[in-house]
Structure 1
Amino acid sequence: MSVPARAPRHLSHVLVALAVGIPALALAWSSTAGAATGVPEPSRPGDDFAGSQILRHEGTSKSGVALTATRGTQGVDVSSHQGNVAWSTLRKSGVRFAYIKATESTSYKNTSFTQQYNGSYKAGIIRGAYHFATPNTSKGATQAKYFLAHGGRWSKDGKTLPGALDLEYNPYGAACYGLSHQGMVNWVRDFSRTYKAKTGRDVVLYTSTKWWKTCTGNNSGFGKTNPLWVPHYGSSVGVLPAGWTYQTLWQYTSTGATVGDHDRFNGNLDRVKALANG
């Protein structure tokens, strides 16, 4: 009876190394893609809104003076923090566009979204929705799909802006959500590509220059495709993240009239309409 030849000792070592290496590689890819597991969902999503963590980590202008940007088209952004919004008052004051928080992670929808989103539309204000990102709770594509299913869709009606992705410091832990620079870039790209595949529009990116430098290594790969919405509570918009030569939107104060957060579109109303029309 013939005896099967034993595999060479060095070959068995290679097979063991491969067996160990495959899950390690998978784990590394998962971390890079931002698909962390076992991370709890946000515990107080109603407190998370565009600029909430920018204010906490970066503060306001050194002068502390409430600023009024005079150039461009006036707008606001709101979340459940404001509850029912007096849209007619804002319209009369000159507000012509608004962004409304719709979702966070894959477990939260703004409880005031319907009044805010439909109310702004009925008041003649061009509106859009935004998603507060938590890149450590699920993949970018997963959160983009949740956002799209709960208010984030775009329609070519001339009154709806493309959705926005709110990227700022983690309210619940490490500032960059435990991701490497490349991991964060991959997560943002995953969200952005998914949103565009479903709507045909590039998602607007809300982020501060400091956060972008800290968490993406100041990646320059989105400036030619994604409109920039930058928060900077000072006398000017300040230095922009790499890849962008101008901002589309500037959140210039958190202490404006009626709702607090006020923004300026970098252009006249016809440019706001152009962004809405795609």
Structure 2
Amino acid sequence: MPVHRPGTARRGQHPHAVGILLAALSALALLLTLPGAAQSADTSDGRSARGDDVPQRGTARMGMGVVEHDGRGGRPSGGSAAQTEGVDVSSHQGNVNWSALWNSGVKWAYVKATESTSYKNPYFAQQYNGSYNIGMIRGAYHFATPDTSSGAAQANYFASNGGGWSRDGRTLPGALDIEWNPYGAACFGKSQGAMVDWIRDFLATYKARTGRDAVIYTATTWWKQCTGNYGGFGASNPLWIARYNTTPGELPAGWGFHTMWQYTSTGPVVGDHNKFNGAYDRVQALANG
């Protein structure tokens, strides 16, 4: 072992430690050049494509991307306009205590039915029938994954697996949940024009199957980014805007008003909470078509 003269060492310096550190850095640099080394792939819209960031397929739920972009939430500011409280749920909530929600003032509900063409919510029956049986007006929603199959294929799958509609006065038209992709690139790898075409394909197929125009659930930021702020659906498809704040904020192009507003992911009882833009009779009117 070499002997160092007293007084030659500086604070923080140790000759053997320096050598070990340099060797470790060299080994790390070599490791990162090897195939399969863990790296974070950049996507065109700035999201990470690392495997450890990707949830399991089927676990996506309404507002998942809104939490990432807007936070969990706000409470509506006071106003004189009538609004009706609602909730949306998925398998994330499991078996729902519908009595508690009803007693808290919730009068309508949307339940996740499907995702892509391969996933069905295993809690759908308890949630969809339970909300109906307690007295709520209820509907179903589909979480869109435009990178896995066509809009028509997903609309047909949705309509055949819980997303249908009947004129019973208690069933809302199906909702298309189109938002940030939790599994990869925010716009599902599609150009703005291709995204508009996919949405149009879904909406046309759903209407052909059910006779109703589907509700569109989205966030203005995503809509601008992924459709170029397309304004062609506002005349026929009710808007369900997602914004976790005290007001709905700016709406996507084509809509002069929102029909529903998801304002928080941390509801006072369970699920994401929403305001219908109108009194209870307007909820009934949407159900009746």
- TM-score range for the pair, normalised by the shorter chain length: 0.7 to 0.9
* 2:61 counterpart residue number: 49
Per-residue deviation, 1:68:
4.4
Per-residue deviation, 1:236:
0.5
Indicate yes or no: 2:206 matched with 1:164. no
Q: What do the CA deviations read for 1:111-144 (whole angstroms, capped 9, x no partner)?
A: 1000000000000000000000000100000000
Indicate yes or no: 2:196 matched with 1:185. yes
Identity %: 63
Indicate yes or no: 2:144 matched with 1:133. yes
* Structure ID, larger Rg: 2
Per-residue deviation, 1:266:
0.3
Indicate yes or no: 2:249 matched with 1:241. no
* 2:44 counterpart residue number: none
**1:67 aligned partner, one-letter code:** R
Indicate yes or no: 2:217 matched with 1:209. no
Per-residue deviation, 1:107:
0.5
Per-residue deviation, 1:57:
2.8
Normalising by structure 1, we get a TM-score of 0.81
Per-residue deviation, 1:92:
1.2
Q: Tell me: CA distance 1:69–1:201, structure 2 relative to 1, closer, same or farther (3 Å).
A: farther
Q: What do the CA deviations read for 1:7-43 (whole angstroms, capped 9, x no partner)?
A: xxxxxxxxxxxxxxxxxxxxxxxxxxxxxxxxxxx96
**1:201 aligned partner, one-letter code:** R
* 1:145 counterpart residue number: 156
Out of 95, 102, 105, the residue aligned to residue 91 of structure 1 is 102
**1:108 aligned partner, one-letter code:** Y
User: 2:220, 2:129 → 1: CA distance?
Assistant: 32
* 1:67 counterpart residue number: 75
Indicate yes or no: 2:278 matched with 1:267. yes
**2:242 aligned partner, one-letter code:** P
Q: Which moved more, 1:107-116 or 1:256-265?
A: 256-265
Please give the secondary structure, in 1, of the residue aligned with 2:266. strand
**2:133 aligned partner, one-letter code:** K
Please give the secondary structure, in 2, of the residue aligned with 1:47. coil
Per-residue deviation, 1:260:
3.4
- Would you say the 8 A contact 2:66–2:244 is kept in 1? no
* Structure 1: stretches of 5+ with no match in the other structure: 1-41
The aligned length equals: 233
Q: Where has structure 1 moved over 4 Å in runs of 4 or more?
A: 68-71
Per-residue deviation, 1:47:
2.7
- Would you say the 8 A contact 2:141–2:176 is kept in 1? yes
Q: What do the CA deviations read for 1:77-124 (whole angstroms, capped 9, x no partner)?
A: 000000011111111111110000000000100010000000000000
User: 2:55, 2:223 → 1: CA distance?
Assistant: 24
Per-residue deviation, 1:46:
4.4
